[in-house]
Amino acid sequence: MRSLLLVLILSTTTIGCGSKEGTDTTGHPSNPDQAEATAPHAADDKATEDLQAKRADEAKAADAKAAADAQAVKAHATTQAQLQASFDASDRRLNQLKEKLATMPSAKKTKANAKVADAKSNETTMMASIATLRDAPLPQWDAAKAKADADLEVFNKSIDALEKAL
């Protein structure tokens, strides 16, 4: 009985392993039910590939934006340094005029003191504009730069007026 059972098991195993009922010679399912089952998998695979391509494009766009932002930050730093240098030169010019004012007679001092006060207030405004420019985020940087440029121009005009008064 045991030998008969062993022969039966071996024969079914051998026949079952050699069966090609599920696929044809091209490797595609020959059973229509199996073909329908692989169609959603193909659609899922296509959707996954499309999603990966979309994410890769988004990553490339984000990298390009980051590179552009980094380049803008460098350009802004250069512009800010130039603006700071212009302000420093104007401030030195104001300090020289104030020293010159100290040696002048009192009649001219009273006339020029109003101009000095105006120049000092413009200097304070300019320093605040530079601080705002330094801390401005990229989207608001251009507006802060325009305000700093305008404040520098007003500051220089007030120094010119003080110089004329002396």
Please tell me the predicted confidence (pLDDT) of residue 103: 85
* pLDDT tens digits in sequence order for the chain, 166 residues long: 666 555 667 666 655 555 455 444 555 555 555 555 566 788 888 889 999 999 999 999 999 888 888 888 898 889 999 999 999 999 999 999 989 888 887 877 887 888 899 999 999 999 999 999 999 888 898 999 999 999 999 999 999 998 888 7
Question: What SS3 string covers 107-161?
Answer: HHHHHHHHHHHHHHHHHHHHHHHHHHHHHCCHHHHHHHHHHHHHHHHHHHHHHHH
In a domain, 155, yes or no: yes
Residue 24 belongs to a domain: no
Asked whether residue 32 is assigned to any structural domain, the reply reads no
Mention every residue, 6+ apart, whose C-beta is less than 8 A from residue 166. Answer: 97, 100, 101, 104, 108, 112
- Report if residue 125 sits inside a domain: yes
Query: The whole model's pTM is what?
Result: 0.62
The boundaries of the domain holding residue 110 are 41-165
Number of domains forming the structure of the chain: 1
Contact 38, 45 (CB under 8 A): no
84 within some domain: yes
CA 138 to each of CA 56, 62, 63, 134: distance values in angstroms, whole numbers, following the listed order: 26, 16, 17, 10
pLDDT at 42 (0 to 100): 82
Neighbours of 166 (CB within 10 A): 15
The answer to whether residue 22 is domain-embedded is no
52 part of a folded domain: yes
Does residue 12 sit within a domain? no
